[in-house]
Structure 1
Amino acid sequence: MKHLPKHLRPRWRYLAVAIEAWPDADLDRRSFQRSLWFAAQNLLGDAGSADADLTVLQFDFGDGTGAAIVRARHGHADEARAALACVDAIEGDPVGVRVSGISGTVRACEEKYLRRGGQFSAERKVVFGDAQRSAVVRGKRLDVRADGAFAGATELDFE
């Protein structure tokens, strides 16, 4: 079966969700998904919850805190936020749920709001090509701004 053309594919928004509960709470993705569907159905009705199509893509929970990424159809982010606000307990354990942010891709959602996959970066001045230039430092790699573009380098290139 062939894929749909890009302009016919459904568009999604990804919500970064912070979860808090008691430290002894044992939550998993399946129970969170079930609670979210139940809250959406109660708030939006059968047709509204089916149209929003809320799905938990990633879930991580331990020691009372966690995070999740929830996918919602484009144009239904407000309904998704409202349904998430209605989740107050998961399998009898009281929880606090907060939407950290909304993004158009899973990767951007992780990096911007969940601080996963992203790297700590700092800026400093380096001598590169016989001139002092600014560089963005990410671990042992440096991206040096040279003539309006970036050049990749390592610390060994400067010693």
Structure 2
Amino acid sequence: MKHLPKHLRPRWRYLAVHLETWPDADLDRRDFQRSVWFATQNLLGDAGSADADCKVLHFEFADGTGEAIVRARHGHADEARAALACVDEIRGDPVGLFVAGISGTVRACEEKYLRRDGQIPDERKVVFEDDQRSAVVRGNRYDVRTDGAFAGATELDFE
């Protein structure tokens, strides 16, 4: 079977996505893909989601943060970006998504938008609500473990 000529091949755009949730969340590629499909179908309908054809190509997630590359058909990148903005939870865990940028190739997407900042989460003991508690620290953000859940805090909350 021969390949299609270049002018007849489908063209794609690649969206770099950063994910953030509570440190104890356990997410995988399949869960994220399912959430993206549901969001595109709910926002764009059956025909629109088929046109956008969003697919997760790359997914990494650990300790509450992660990154992904989502492929969308050329001309439908804005619709895919809007659908990603509709994802607010994955398998019951609240999640925040941020589209860092859109690129024409996977390689350019990785090089421009998915550079690791070297920020490794750190676990510390902090005093929160007059009690010593465990907290996961990422930069100047603290996720303090309360009674079976987490509370988001900053350095100003501890002074």
1:23-102 matches, cutoff 5 A: 23-102=23-102
**In 2: Cα distance, 1:35 partner to 1:107 partner:** 25
Query: Once the 2 structures are TM-superposed, how far is the Cα of residue 101 of structure 1 from its aligned partner?
Result: 0.3
SS of residue in 2 equivalent to 1:23: coil
TM-score by length of 2: 0.72
**In 1: Cα distance, 2:107 partner to 2:23 partner:** 28
Match of 2:131 in 1: none
Q: Which one has a bigger Cα radius of gyration?
A: 1
One-letter amino acid of the structure 1 residue matched with residue 54 of structure 2: L
**In 2: Cα distance, 1:42 partner to 1:101 partner:** 23
One-letter amino acid of the structure 2 residue matched with residue 38 of structure 1: F
Q: List, as ranges, runs of 4+ consecutive aligned residues in structure 1 with deviation greater than 2 Å.
A: none
**In 2: Cα distance, 1:93 partner to 1:86 partner:** 14
Unpaired runs of 5+ residues, structure 1, are 117-159
One-letter amino acid of the structure 2 residue matched with residue 22 of structure 1: W
Aligned length: 116
One-letter amino acid of the structure 1 residue matched with residue 113 of structure 2: Y
**In 1: Cα distance, 2:80 partner to 2:41 partner:** 11
Match of 1:18 in 2: 18
Aligned CA-pair RMSD = 0.7
Query: Once the 2 structures are TM-superposed, how far is the Cα of residue 115 of structure 1 from its aligned partner?
Result: 1.2
SS of residue in 2 equivalent to 1:27: coil
**In 1: Cα distance, 2:25 partner to 2:2 partner:** 44
TM-score by length of 1: 0.72
**In 1: Cα distance, 2:66 partner to 2:37 partner:** 19
**In 2: Cα distance, 1:103 partner to 1:32 partner:** 20
**In 1: Cα distance, 2:75 partner to 2:99 partner:** 16
One-letter amino acid of the structure 2 residue matched with residue 31 of structure 1: D
**In 2: Cα distance, 1:73 partner to 1:40 partner:** 13
SS of residue in 2 equivalent to 1:82: helix
